[in-house]
Structure 1
């Protein structure tokens, strides 16, 4: 960086002369020329010069005024006066006022050397002031630390007399010895008489240049006895021990805690042995996690299970993060079983869950297996984390499944028997209505028809009777058609469904579309066909009652081991909460459950209604 020079001069020729001289001596120089007080103050702030060079005689601004402004605004920057012939008294006064030097105009060649000397002098002054200030601050810091530390400090001279001590040392002495410490006093006078000889021996070792450190119990007449830690180090100057520095710290609290910890550790070791014996006899895989999910210990059952299942890794997983492993397993699908387990473990560790319990499948090559996982937080104050237990419930699951299968088979058998009985009853009713009631009505119709040729006053009555009887016949046939089950042993399901949709939907003016893709009826037994027919009949009734539809699409297929039937209308639809309460839907689901099938509904207000049936195929 170029030398920055601020020249105070009103004569441009003199200013240019100074600039040429500086350039010749220092190379490129940044300089600014000012001629009044306001410009001087402004450039001190903006230009930040390295040195001031001022003419002595300015018409409206004297060198003395310039020097005062420099001392006020830039006291550490050198100031050199350039003047004509002056007396020695004037020169002395200038230097005394604060100028670093003065140069006579007929000796300007001396200016560069005077500038270098002035800047070196000012730099040395600044460094000295900074050092003095730093030294003062350091002394103040040391004094503050010395007086405010929690440790007591005592400095002894070579004769073992107190040379200096801090307030904490006096406080500890009053607390345990009940004596006052004074400068010049022998440290042995402040020691209990019973310990004076041993203490003198310690001080003698330190005077030989040895460092000594120990803890000892100290009686306290005014309170419970305590413990003190002492550290003695020699003060060495010119390879000679000139004194001793004693550091004393009250360690009563930490010492008691240490003793309690030792006692607690012994108790915990005994307890850990008992707990370990219990955990190793439990028929469950148990791992202990720390608060971050890290496995810190496992029981013997865990290790045995790992060995039997080809575990590969170090120390049965101890040291691995169980939570991270669970989270990674559930990353592809957070709603999966692994994702649920990761959230459960995290919930117990962060305290949002008091316990997490789940059951999961873990099959081996030889058998199907089920486990119950229980995660509970550690309740001890010294430890934070969780205990993870995996209990094998495969046998329980197998027994439950066997009972469930038996119960379901029995319910299915009873349900099928009930349905067959109901259908037989309906068939009987239909035959009875058709063969008996309807024949009687037909006979009555014939008799009344013959009566038309008799007295004329009976004509209107006979005509109306004939109309009523004909209506009764139509209604009777309709009832018989609904109650009599179709013969699906010999007839095709698609044909019967075609007739059903013709009679119920097309007759009501609804457009019907039937799609039969990949349908093989030979894969359906008569029971399945019959129940599909009844489900279709039930849904047609629902459409006529509630849908207000103009088009119904029916899709039938049998592939991938399942029979599927979809009945969809373009009606007004309904809320899914309402569909769950319908008796018709309950009947449909009951019929599909008899064959381990499912019934699914897709609907919404203004979105139509679709019923999807799926049944496993025979064999």
Structure 2
């Protein structure tokens, strides 16, 4: 602080000689000092006035009858008061002056040289104010630092601060808990070499391969959930962390890494994924069992019931030829029975085809798809187109059955809800996968749900389940009044894991 900027100065004067007091005041006034003062002569008054108000400076005679300048300095020290004390004396040697200065006096001025008094007062008051300002700033910084430490300590995630070279500057209490290290133990150590030297698969993780440094050196934060941190005891935990660079003048000066343990979450995700896989396997197994059962029933209907009905018709036809012409009632009854048998045979064939079309096993997927769509058009009046990328479009039994059932579910859904007039189906053989596209010009997916009385679209759910069980992908899009499009992508190489006996017992 500039001494010329100091306002009115409050002076506590300790002097028992009125003439000396007047001399000091005269000197202050002559040199243009703006001040107010109070003069005292004993320790009791000193204590009282120090407690009553703040003072800018104390001007004290060296030796008074009641007490001395040494006692003044002791009182200031005991009360932890930073008030400049300037000692004045008429006869004092250099050694005593040095002792006073070491004791805490800010200056010593002989009475025959009072010309130094005003500059000394201005200087010491300015320095005292500077010290007070500095203390206020330091106190504010300490309070902010304490608040920051409390905030950092209360964080529910670990925090590690490193310099630009990766050396640890600070870790918070949560980081201490997660890592097993104390902050004072790791200060200055390389963070990567301490807790990040292994990859998730247990292989070494060289520091130069770690993307944290590469990203943060460019000023780019780095985030991941696929790595591990190693604890002090050598154990590890799966971690989610964000490393954020701190920049100053376009230079990275530090990196703040916030992290937390996600081992439980990762384990839960693995268990959930495993459960989903087992459910898909179980679903595939159930579909396989159901398909086998359908095939068996369809075969029995065709082979046994079909043969029995055919034999029955033959017998009825033979019987019809044995009635006399005048047995009209018997002729009509027998003819009705033959008609009923024909109708039953037709129903049996339709039921058998719905259970498991023999075309699928005999002529393959393309012919079966054509038959299904033709039958769909005949039943609903909805025109269709079928585009197949290859004339010989046939795969293994599992894939053929899955594609057929998806198409069957889709056309059933169109017949029930879409109110369509046209259906376009396309089968594509695309390298490693098969693409099935089904598009109608109906009311759209949203209105289909409304027309189905807000029931769950089990047909679409069934399609999704079949696709997922084979590791495929499905997109379903639709807009009101513009129809619905289903696009299914299935891998040619279907990987199916056999169910364990426990799973089969659940399925059965």
TM-score of Structure 1 vs Structure 2, range by shorter chain: 0.5 to 0.7
| 2:384 matches 1:512 | yes
Q: Distance in 1 between matches of 2:314 and 2:82?
A: 123
Q: Distance in 2 between matches of 1:583 and 1:278?
A: 48
**Cα shift readout 1:1-40 (whole Å, capped 9, x = no counterpart):** xxxxxxxxxxxxxxxxxxxxxxxxxxxxxxxxxxxxxxxx
Give 2:259's aligned residue.
389
Between Structure 1 and Structure 2, whose CA radius of gyration is higher? 1
Q: Secondary structure at the match of 2:444?
A: coil
- Cα distance 1:442–1:516, how it changes in 2: closer, same or farther (>3 A)? same
Give 2:76's aligned residue.
218
| 2:371 matches 1:499 | yes
Taking the TM superposition and a 5 Å limit, the aligned residue runs for 1:321-470 are 325-326=220-221, 341=223, 359-360=225-226, 371-374=238-241, 388-389=258-259, 407=278, 410-411=281-282, 414-415=285-286, 417-431=288-302, 432-437=304-309, 439-440=311-312, 443-444=315-316, 453-455=325-327, 468-470=340-342
Q: Distance in 1 between matches of 2:415 and 2:492?
A: 30
Give 2:117's aligned residue.
243
Shift of the alpha carbon at 1:547? 2.1
Give 2:103's aligned residue.
none
Shift of the alpha carbon at 1:553? 0.9
**Cα shift readout 1:564-593 (whole Å, capped 9, x = no counterpart):** 111111122231893992222222222223
Shift of the alpha carbon at 1:561? 0.9
Shift of the alpha carbon at 1:273? 11
**Cα shift readout 1:367-389 (whole Å, capped 9, x = no counterpart):** xx99531579xxxxxxxx97623
- Cα distance 1:489–1:450, how it changes in 2: closer, same or farther (>3 A)? same
Give 1:121's aligned residue.
none
Give 2:206's aligned residue.
309
Q: Distance in 2 between matches of 1:588 and 1:449?
A: 53
Taking the TM superposition and a 5 Å limit, the aligned residue runs for 1:119-198 are 146-147=7-8, 152=10, 159-161=23-25, 163=28, 166=35, 176-177=49-50, 187-188=60-61, 193-196=66-69
**Cα shift readout 1:196-254 (whole Å, capped 9, x = no counterpart):** 2687xxxxxxxxxxxxxxx986389xxxx34223276899xxx9925335355598994
8 Å Cα contact 1:157-1:242 kept in structure 2 = no
**Cα shift readout 1:166-195 (whole Å, capped 9, x = no counterpart):** 4698999785447999xxx98539989544
Q: Distance in 2 between matches of 1:518 and 1:168?
A: 111
- Cα distance 1:472–1:276, how it changes in 2: closer, same or farther (>3 A)? closer
Shift of the alpha carbon at 1:612? 1.7
Q: Distance in 2 between matches of 1:180 and 1:481?
A: 107
- Cα distance 1:476–1:427, how it changes in 2: closer, same or farther (>3 A)? closer
Give 1:610's aligned residue.
485
Shift of the alpha carbon at 1:562? 0.7
Q: Distance in 2 between matches of 1:397 and 1:430?
A: 48
Give 1:598's aligned residue.
473
| 2:404 matches 1:533 | yes
Give 2:427's aligned residue.
556
Instruction: Name structure 1 gaps, 5 residues minimum.
Output: 1-141, 200-214, 288-295, 327-337, 342-357, 363-368, 377-384
8 Å Cα contact 2:240-2:262 kept in structure 1 = no
Q: Distance in 2 between matches of 1:192 and 1:440?
A: 147
Give 2:446's aligned residue.
575
Cα RMSD between the aligned structures? 6.0
Shift of the alpha carbon at 1:443? 4.8
- Cα distance 1:325–1:449, how it changes in 2: closer, same or farther (>3 A)? farther
8 Å Cα contact 2:62-2:68 kept in structure 1 = no
Taking the TM superposition and a 5 Å limit, the aligned residue runs for 1:252-271 are 254=135
- Cα distance 1:511–1:273, how it changes in 2: closer, same or farther (>3 A)? closer
- Cα distance 1:300–1:416, how it changes in 2: closer, same or farther (>3 A)? same
Instruction: Name structure 2 gaps, 5 residues minimum.
Output: 14-19, 86-105, 154-167, 184-188, 229-235, 244-254, 495-508
Q: Distance in 2 between matches of 1:243 and 1:460?
A: 146
Give 1:545's aligned residue.
416
8 Å Cα contact 2:12-2:59 kept in structure 1 = no
Taking the TM superposition and a 5 Å limit, the aligned residue runs for 1:75-154 are 146-147=7-8, 152=10
8 Å Cα contact 2:478-2:484 kept in structure 1 = yes
8 Å Cα contact 1:574-1:604 kept in structure 2 = yes
Q: Distance in 2 between matches of 1:442 and 1:190?
A: 148
- Cα distance 1:518–1:180, how it changes in 2: closer, same or farther (>3 A)? closer
**Cα shift readout 1:259-292 (whole Å, capped 9, x = no counterpart):** x979x99xx9xx99997999689669999xxxxx
| 2:102 matches 1:227 | no
Q: Secondary structure at the match of 1:600?
A: strand
- Cα distance 1:531–1:279, how it changes in 2: closer, same or farther (>3 A)? closer
8 Å Cα contact 1:573-1:607 kept in structure 2 = yes
- Cα distance 1:216–1:426, how it changes in 2: closer, same or farther (>3 A)? farther
Give 2:251's aligned residue.
none
Q: Secondary structure at the match of 1:553?
A: strand
- Cα distance 1:482–1:458, how it changes in 2: closer, same or farther (>3 A)? same
Normalised by the size of structure 2, how large is the TM-score? 0.56
Structure with more relative contact order (C-alpha pairs < 8 Å, separation 6 or more): 2
